[in-house]
Every structure is written in C-alpha cells, then in structure tokens.
Amino acid sequence: MPVITISKEFASGGLEIAKRLAQKLNYDYLDKEIVEQVADHAKVSHQEVMDFEEEGHINVRAYLSRIIDLDIFKKSSKHKEEVETETTYDERDKVPYSFDTQGWIDSDIYREMICKVISELGQRPNVMVVGRGGQCILREQPEVINIRIIASMTARIARLQIENPDLNDAEAQKQIEAMDKKSREYIKFYFNENWSNPKLYDVVINTSRVNDDKIVEWLTDLCS
C-alpha cells in the first residue's frame, strides 16, 4: 500500500479525516514521531524542536550558525573533558551538520533533519506523514499519494466554532488566517514551494462540498 502525505488547511477537518483514514487503513499516523526523530538526530530535546517550530521559521539561527562556532552553545557538560575536533566553516559547508550539534538547532539543521527523517519514514510500509512538507520531500518517490484537504472560509469558521463556541466569526477567521499563514510560510521557507499549488498533490478534496464520511470512504478505496 502507498505512503500517504496529508496537507490540510486549518479547521478544514483534515486532521480528523487523516486520523480516521489512518485507523481504517491500519496505517501509522506520524506526527509527534517526526518531532521525536528530528530531535534525536539533531541531539536536542523534543521540546526544543517543538519550540523551534513555533518560532515562525526565521533564519536568524541559520545565519548565526555560519558565523559562530556552534561548540559554544553545547549544553552537555560531559563534553567539557572530551577532546574536541575543530570544525571549519568550509568543512561544514561540504558536509552540513556532520559535526556535533548537541543542544543547538537552527533552520538549516532543522531542514536537513526533517528531510532525512521523512525520507526514512517514507521507506516504511503503511505510513501516513502529516504536515511538515511531506508532500515536497516525498513527491518524487514512487508509491506515494499526496492528499490536500481544504474548505471554504465559512465552513472552517463553523468547524472552529464547534470546538470553540466563544469565538465570534471575526475572531475565528483571524485565527484561521494566522494558522494558514504559518503553514504557507513554512513550505515557502524550507522548500520554496507554494503550499496551495495543486501540482504538489495527487488529490485535493474540499470538505465544504463532501461530508467527512464520504471522503474517508473515497480515500480508503484510493489508498487500498
């Protein structure tokens, strides 16, 4: 069965559809596992990766990592007594992040690790990769179905208000637009792609037009 990637507009119902589809297909739903593996590869805490993803993908750390020796940011005291091998800028440029990045993550390291982790996960059978540019990283790989879930703003506001009944329409729309902006900028920053470009996807489904049960049924047939 194919690897599945899911891209979703905020409050489109995509999260619920993805979870239901993974359960129906008996797929591994990969979200937090991606964060954990990125953290393990970069040798930072899981929380630090999560915090970094919330920063808005500003390239300040990437810039600093090219002009400052990253060894000064190492947090682990166990390295103090070890003999450290000097790493030059040129060596970093030729083999990015082969040096120890203990206690530090920047935009370049994050992209390197997210591509590595998702590429490796994409080799496993029966996996669903949710978000984080999976549609960009795996799009050239055979046996991958890239799915995008969208909806009208009216429908998305209604969905969000079911979960947050205190939100008025303007507040709900502002939250939706902020979350969409974050996702759009993530894809542009790390992969230089347009998040909403239909050519990135094999299937685009509008939940404003079709109910969730029918969508899960269609996608189950498609991916089986």
Please check whether residues 20 and 1 belong to one and the same domain: yes
pLDDT tens for residues 114-152?
A: 999 999 999 999 999 999 999 999 988 889 999 999 999
What CA–CA distance (Å, rounded) separates 12 from 171?
16
**In the structure, how many helices (H) and strands (E) does the chain have?**
10, 5
Domain interval for residue 95:
32-125
What CA–CA distance (Å, rounded) separates 28 from 215?
19
**Per-residue confidence at 73, pLDDT binned at 50, 70, 90?**
very low
What CA–CA distance (Å, rounded) separates 103 from 87?
17
What CA–CA distance (Å, rounded) separates 50 from 37?
12
Please check whether residues 161 and 214 belong to one and the same domain: yes
What CA–CA distance (Å, rounded) separates 104 from 43?
8
Point out the domain boundary residue: 78, 105, 125.
125
What CA–CA distance (Å, rounded) separates 2 from 122?
9
pTM summary value: 0.79
What pLDDT was estimated at residue 49?
Answer: 86
How many domains, the chain?
2
**Per-residue confidence at 60, pLDDT binned at 50, 70, 90?**
low
